[in-house]
Amino acid sequence: MTAHLEIRPLTARSVVLSTLLGVHPPRLPARYLVRVGELFGIAEGTIRVALSRMVTSGDLVQIDGVYALTDRLLARQARQDDSLLPHTRPWDGTWEIAVITTERRPAPDRAALRQAMSELRLAELREGTWLRPANLTRPRPEPVARQCSFLHGRPEGGSADLATSLWDLDAWAASAHALRRALDQATTIAERFTLSAAVLRHLLNDPILPPGLLPPDWPGPALRAHYEHFETTFEQLLTTHVLS
């Protein structure tokens, strides 16, 4: 089950990173992060070594004993927040279509564009053409604006069939149901913390389609509600045992 759900082991780095990604603003003194580690049985020295390594690798910056996320991870936090509360608009049946218009792109540009398209929740129809229903509002990052032109249109066939061909909705839903069951069955804060990190990763891959294009009983909203419940519980735990 854990392999299927891509559950990652609980480490000092994952505890620090998940904690900072979950607080706003995403910065905490080292002593608070040490206390968080203690909640999961991680020694102070292990947390401090992880903090030092994360600064060296560019994940964190440290000023006067306070650790904060770098710009790259701030962008990840923004995507994470958006996956929990998507910015949608009423859908009129049109699709946004991104066509790559630049030629002879170096490999780093191609990789950056593919990552940006995924973060915009666009799906690749064929090489150089990405699309999705035009029901989301979000800015387009620089690699996309520089390398693509955008159009709007409607498929000649059914939109539901097109969506099914672009996203494996059944597989996403099956994993979402399994994560909900695992969260319900978790008995320790460590288990729930680890599973909730997996929930966030899974929600980042939710295509957030208009309701009319989703299978019946789509589990996205329920999975978000489960995560929000854990988030509230964990914030209370932080307030009581860490920040006090």
Beta-sheet strands, E only, within the chain: 27-29, 60-63, 66-69, 95-100, 123-126, 129-133, 148-153
Reported pTM: 0.88
The reported pLDDT for the residue numbered 3 is 40
The reported pLDDT for the residue numbered 234 is 87
How do the pLDDT tens digits run along the chain, 244 residues long? 444 566 788 899 999 999 999 889 999 999 999 999 998 999 999 999 999 999 999 999 999 999 999 999 999 999 999 999 999 999 999 999 999 998 877 888 888 889 999 999 999 999 899 999 999 999 888 888 888 999 999 998 889 999 999 999 999 999 999 999 999 898 988 899 999 999 999 999 999 999 999 999 999 999 999 999 898 988 888 888 777 7
Check if the beta carbon of residue 227 is closer than 8 Å to that of residue 44. no
Check if the beta carbon of residue 213 is closer than 8 Å to that of residue 160. yes
- Which residues partner with 88 through β-bridges? 136
127, amino acid identity: E
Nearest 5°: CA angle at 240, between 237 and 244? 135
Which residues, including other chains, have CB under 8 Å from residue 16's CB and lie 6 or more apart?
A: 33, 36, 37, 47, 50, 51, 54, 60, 67
The reported pLDDT for the residue numbered 9 is 82
The reported pLDDT for the residue numbered 5 is 66
Check if the beta carbon of residue 132 is closer than 8 Å to that of residue 91. no
